[in-house]
């Protein structure tokens, strides 16, 4: 990941790192640290900031500007931003919250939480599953380099997912500690961890099932677990208190905005369609199918069989959370989750999914030499395949949102996009998606006539190209349409025909 940052140099560019949804998550920090104004009124004084640094800042019905996302991601970024900010101030440099030192700090923060999450996986595999170091290492290899988490450290490091990955792992470990030693301090810390999980991405409240299901292998275990919380009301109350304390600033912010402790930040038609989950598209489509772009997760799916047989106390919690998360994520109006490499929402629970991955690797490595070699080969093939696709994504040979079957196979095995690639892309219709309507992909361009028409339309969209063609038409005393058609045919024959 560091090599990618050094090679690509995204941190040097003003429009990278703090971009897209990162502007939502990160906006809390400069609003407080630089402008000392959580009301965002400074944006009305200098509206240009709205377009440059503060993307799509919305207004409440009474006209107040507001931050769309909760402050959890910013909270995890603050320890890395504060030293940079005050060092710049004390040395007389510009401390605007957005310059290159801040971007580097965000990259370092994502690397830190990425490594911490992988160390938590190692702890779980070694201490809780009681497996060997080799199994832990192979599991970390699959999760750390064989999945799309790589992109969210190497290309889009300040998005929420690496922070969720770490915080959910922390919540799992603190829950395990609380269950083994019930007291009010463990309960309070566990509550803080859950508060952090939900502040980063409220939809991850689903992992709140961990305290109920972790370590449960039967109905009697479940009954005993529920009773554990009722028998220890003080400790249970401290869990709730920990969550409330961490959410208190957010509640106060909502009270300021709306006069209540809740506020619908996503108020532009972005919603769930629970009666129309796009399960097949979400998991297998060429646009963003989870298993297509992260085939390493097949290890987890088959690993559930081993997990059930040999680690049943882990099985029900991980499977239940995964099933609910798949249903919820596939019900989101944008089931492909905007511009991304693969289905980014599942990065959040990779610490949990590492357990069935480890179980399958353990089973494969405990067999004879042929099965061991097959297991090792699959691990390294999946890592290689993922890293190749990562490079494709970085080189725009995998599109962030418009992939189709034709586009996928056009660049399959190629590091760079071909001339035909752009023609095969099909961007999602967001307005239809907000109504739960998802048209089937159009038939790909095949005939010469279709290609020529596509090239003509592409030429007409470009002002520079049209100016050149207009001058060419005047020079040769020909109609502009004739010149466009001739050039389109020439481009087709030289670039597209094969």
Residue 238 has pLDDT above 90, yes or no: yes
Instruction: Tell me the C-alpha to C-alpha distance, in Å, between residue 123 and each of 16, 214, 217, 314, 354.
Output: 34, 16, 21, 15, 11
Half-sphere exposure of 343 (CA within 13 A, CB side): 30
Q: What is the pLDDT of residue 374?
A: 97
pLDDT in tens, 288-338: 999 999 999 999 999 999 999 999 999 999 999 999 999 999 999 999 999
- 28 and 36 Cβ atoms separated by less than 8 Å: no
| CA separation for the pair 92, 298 (Å, rounded) | 53
Look up residue 370 and give its two tokens: 């042929």
Give the three-state DSSP class for 27.
Answer: coil
Instruction: For residue 463, count other CB atoms closer than 10 A to its CB.
Output: 8
Instruction: Tell me the C-alpha to C-alpha distance, in Å, between residue 453 and each of 69, 111, 421, 494.
Output: 43, 47, 16, 15
Q: What is the pLDDT of residue 66?
A: 87
Q: Enumerate residues 6+ apart whose C-beta is below 8 A from 161.
A: 149, 152, 344, 345, 347, 348
For 137-165, what is the mean pLDDT?
96
Handedness of CA 273, 164, 403, 156 (dihedral sign): positive
Q: What is the pLDDT of residue 1?
A: 67
Q: Enumerate residues 6+ apart whose C-beta is below 8 A from 363.
A: 306
Average pLDDT, the chain: 93
pTM over 0.75: yes
Backbone angles phi and psi of 19, in degrees to 5: -145, 165
Residue 58's DSSP bridge partners are 66
- If we measure between CA atoms, which residue out of 142, 132, 140 comes closest to residue 381? 142
Provide long-range contacts, Cβ within 8 A and 24+ apart, for 273-278: 273/331, 273/332, 273/333, 273/436, 274/327, 274/331, 276/331, 276/436, 277/327, 277/330, 277/331, 277/335, 278/330, 278/331, 278/335, 278/438
Q: What angle do CA 336, 338, 339 make, to 5 degrees?
A: 110
Percent of the chain whose pLDDT exceeds 90: 77
Residue 56 has pLDDT above 80, yes or no: no
- 202 and 263 Cβ atoms separated by less than 8 Å: no
Backbone angles phi and psi of 65, in degrees to 5: -70, 145
Q: What is the pLDDT of residue 86?
A: 96
Look up residue 241 and give its two tokens: 């208190």
- If we measure between CA atoms, which residue out of 91, 98, 93 comes closest to residue 33? 98
| CA separation for the pair 189, 179 (Å, rounded) | 13
For 188-217, what is the mean pLDDT?
97
For 433-439, what is the mean pLDDT?
94
pLDDT in tens, 81-104: 999 999 999 999 999 999 999 999
Q: Which residue has the higher pLDDT, 65 or 280?
A: 280
Q: What is the pLDDT of residue 327?
A: 98
Residue 241 has pLDDT above 80, yes or no: yes
Q: Enumerate residues 6+ apart whose C-beta is below 8 A from 82.
A: 33
Backbone angles phi and psi of 208, in degrees to 5: -65, -10
Q: What is the pLDDT of residue 263?
A: 67
Residue 175 has pLDDT above 60, yes or no: yes
Q: Which of 96-105, 154-163, 262-271, 339-348 has the lowest mean pLDDT?
A: 262-271
Query: Which range is most confident: 45-49, 72-76, 469-473?
Result: 72-76
Residue 161 — very low, low, confident or very high, per pLDDT cuts 50/70/90?
A: very high
Instruction: For residue 95, count other CB atoms closer than 10 A to its CB.
Output: 20
Q: What is the pLDDT of residue 244?
A: 97
Tallying the residues shown for the chain, one arrives at 498
């Amino acid at each position: 990941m560091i090599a990618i940052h050094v090679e690509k140099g995204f941190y040097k560019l003003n429009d990278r790192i703090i971009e897209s949804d990162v502007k939502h998550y990160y906006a809390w920090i400069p609003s407080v640290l630089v402008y000392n104004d959580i009301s965002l009124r400074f944006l009305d004084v200098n509206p240009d900031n709205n377009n440059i640094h503060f993307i799509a800042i919305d207004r409440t019905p009474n006209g107040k500007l507001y931050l769309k996302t909760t402050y959890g991601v910013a909270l995890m970024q603050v320890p890395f931003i504060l030293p940079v900010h005050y060092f710049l101030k004390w040395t007389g440099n510009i401390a605007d919250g957005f310059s290159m030192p801040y971007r580097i700090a965000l990259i370092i923060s994502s690397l830190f939480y990425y490594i911490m999450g992988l160390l938590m996986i190692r702890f779980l595999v070694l201490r809780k599953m009681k497996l060997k170091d080799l199994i832990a290492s192979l599991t970390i290899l699959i999760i750390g380099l064989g999945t799309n988490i790589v992109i969210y450290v190497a290309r889009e490091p300040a998005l929420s997912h690496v922070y969720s990955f770490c915080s959910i792992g922390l919540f799992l470990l603190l829950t395990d500690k609380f269950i083994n030693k019930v007291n009010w301090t463990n309960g309070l810390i566990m509550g803080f961890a859950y508060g952090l999980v939900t502040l980063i991405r409220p939809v991850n409240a689903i992992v709140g099932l961990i305290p109920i299901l972790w370590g449960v292998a039967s109905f009697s275990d479940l009954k005993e677990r529920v009773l554990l919380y009722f028998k220890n009301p003080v400790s249970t109350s401290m869990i709730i208190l920990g969550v409330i304390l961490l959410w208190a600033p957010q509640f106060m912010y909502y009270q300021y905005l709306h006069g209540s402790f809740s506020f619908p930040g996503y108020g532009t038609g972005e919603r769930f369609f629970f009666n129309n989950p796009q399960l097949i598209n979400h998991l297998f489509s060429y646009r963003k199918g989870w298993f297509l772009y992260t085939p390493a997760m097949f290890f987890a799916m088959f690993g559930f069989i081993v997990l059930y047989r040999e680690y049943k106390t882990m099985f029900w919690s991980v499977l239940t959370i995964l099933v609910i998360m798949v249903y919820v994520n596939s019900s989101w109006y944008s089931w492909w989750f905007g511009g991304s490499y693969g289905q980014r929402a599942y990065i959040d629970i990779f610490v949990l999914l590492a357990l069935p991955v480890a179980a399958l690797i353990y089973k494969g490595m405990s067999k004879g030499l042929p099965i061991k070699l097959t297991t090792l080969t699959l691990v390294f093939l999946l890592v290689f395949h993922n890293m190749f696709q990562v490079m494709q994504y970085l080189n725009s040979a995998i599109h962030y949102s418009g992939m189709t079957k034709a586009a996928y196979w056009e660049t399959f095995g190629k590091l760079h996009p071909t001339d035909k690639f752009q023609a095969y892309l099909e961007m999602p219709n967001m307005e239809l998606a907000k109504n739960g309507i998802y048209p089937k992909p159009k038939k790909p361009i095949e005939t010469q006539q279709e290609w020529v028409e596509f090239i003509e339309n592409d030429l007409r969209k470009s002002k520079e190209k049209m100016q050149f063609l207009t001058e060419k038409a005047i020079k040769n005393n020909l109609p502009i349409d004739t010149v466009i058609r001739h050039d389109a045919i020439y481009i087709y024959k030289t670039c597209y025909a094969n």
